[in-house]
Amino acid sequence: MSIRVRFIIVIGVLSMLASVALAYASYQFSVKNAMADAKTQGAIVFNMIDSSRMYFKKNQRPLVLELVEEDRFYPEIMSGFVMTRGVWEIFEKRFPGYQFKQATIDPLYPPNKADAEELKLIDSFGKNKEIKNTEGIVEKKGKQYYYFARPISVGAKCLRCHGTPEEAPKDQLEIYGTDHGYDWHKGQVVSTSIVYVPLDKAMAAAKKSATSLFTMGAAGIVLLMGVIWFFLSSGVVAPLAKLQEKTTQISLGKELDEEIGIHSKDEIGDLAKAIDRLRISTAKLLKRCAGK
Ligand code: HEC
């Protein structure tokens, strides 16, 4: 295999490996950034919802309870869960993509029903009451999300509406019926407040930037190989071939009067000079022999 081919293969393989490593590192970096972004966004959204619910519970509901006749129940102004759901329905129209759910094992409002993943989460909250919130990555319908979740457990007061239908306010029975959302128990973790931040766009962007980095790297390498090939051909291979041809002629006693004509100031130029000296001394030697 010629020097030129060997050199190109070694440099090419090493540069390709470097370019793959660079693209991979860039992908990892972008994914890490996307996660950090999702975490911040999720924390903001989650805490905003929670804060509005806290305000409602602490400041608004006590006043509402004073104003509304006893035995009446208007969910929109008396339930924190209805309030958060309503706020969220407006928010998600303005910021599509994010999702929020009060995912519940057996809810009054059917769309709050927990899916398989959420049921697992509620179960793990139930088994470990120390956990006050959790976060992580989950896949839903082929899309990745970063989620923030908090457990919701049942207190004695909750049973007025979530205990038996007989005890529940009549207004509630009229709106929600009696089929689901009851028979909860004190201390039971029945639900999780969960926010989902979509990750797929950020992941796709990470993949795209890594791919374009690799493509640019590969194109650069091909160009570099071309330039190296050109310089090796004109600066090394061609002069070496000429020197080989000249040396062969000298060894046959031919072209002894012709200067080699390579004057580059490098190793090849030095070799050319040495062969030139060999040519001159061979010529002298041959003349001397012929004279005898
Ligand atoms: C005065 C009645 C009332 C009380 C008291 C009450 N809730 Fe509810 N709760 C409701 C209604 C009505 C809904 C339906 C919300 C909706 O339409 O989105 C609801 C919804 C929920 C949901 C969402 C899932 C679902 O059932 O749709 C959870 C979780 C929940 N309540 C937990 C609690 C907890 C925990 C307490 C006690 C701290 C409590 N509730 C106290 C009436 C009540």
The pLDDT tens digits of the residues spanning 235-244 come to 999 999 999 9
Question: Does residue 255 have a pLDDT over 90?
Answer: no
Please give the backbone phi and psi of residue 289, each rounded to the nearest 5 degrees, phi first: -60, -40
168 lines ligand 1 (CB under 6 A): no
Task: Look at the chain and count its residues.
Answer: 292
CA of 47 to the centre of ligand 1 (A): 20
Mean pLDDT of 137-158: 93
111 lines ligand 1 (CB under 6 A): no
Mean pLDDT of 20-49: 92
Listed ranges 96-100, 110-114, 132-136, 286-290; the one with the highest mean pLDDT: 110-114
pLDDT classification of 202: cutoffs 50, 70, 90? confident
Q: Which two tokens stand for residue 245?
A: 């041809």
75 lines ligand 1 (CB under 6 A): yes
Place of tokens 């929600």: 176
CA of 10 to the centre of ligand 1 (A): 69
109 lines ligand 1 (CB under 6 A): yes
Mean pLDDT of 41-48: 91
CA of 148 to the centre of ligand 1 (A): 20
Q: Which amino acid is at 177?
A: G
CA of 194 to the centre of ligand 1 (A): 15
**What is the pLDDT, as a whole number, of residue 4?**
86
Residue whose CA is at the smallest distance from ligand 1 atom 21: 81
pLDDT classification of 104: cutoffs 50, 70, 90? very high
Residue 153 and residue 147: Cα distance in Å, rounded?
Answer: 19
Q: Are 68 and 47 in contact (CB under 8 A)?
A: no
pLDDT classification of 1: cutoffs 50, 70, 90? confident
CA of 144 to the centre of ligand 1 (A): 29
**Nearest C-alpha neighbor of 286 from the set 260, 254, 248:** 254
Q: Which CA distances in Å does 290 have to 122, 219, 221, 246, 287?
A: 108, 61, 58, 22, 5
Q: Mean pLDDT across the chain, nearest whole number?
A: 93
pLDDT digits (tens, 9 = 90+) for 204-254: 888 999 999 999 999 999 999 999 999 999 999 999 999 999 999 999 988
CA of 270 to the centre of ligand 1 (A): 93
160 lines ligand 1 (CB under 6 A): yes
Question: Does residue 86 have a pLDDT over 90?
Answer: yes
Question: Percent of the chain at pLDDT above 90?
Answer: 81
Residue 201 and residue 237: Cα distance in Å, rounded?
Answer: 51
Q: Which two tokens stand for residue 257?
A: 């009067």
Burial of 66 (0-12, 13-18, 19+ CB in 10 A): exposed
Question: Does residue 292 have a pLDDT over 80?
Answer: no
Q: Are 180 and 107 in contact (CB under 8 A)?
A: yes
Relative to the CA of 106, which ligand 1 atom is closest? 26
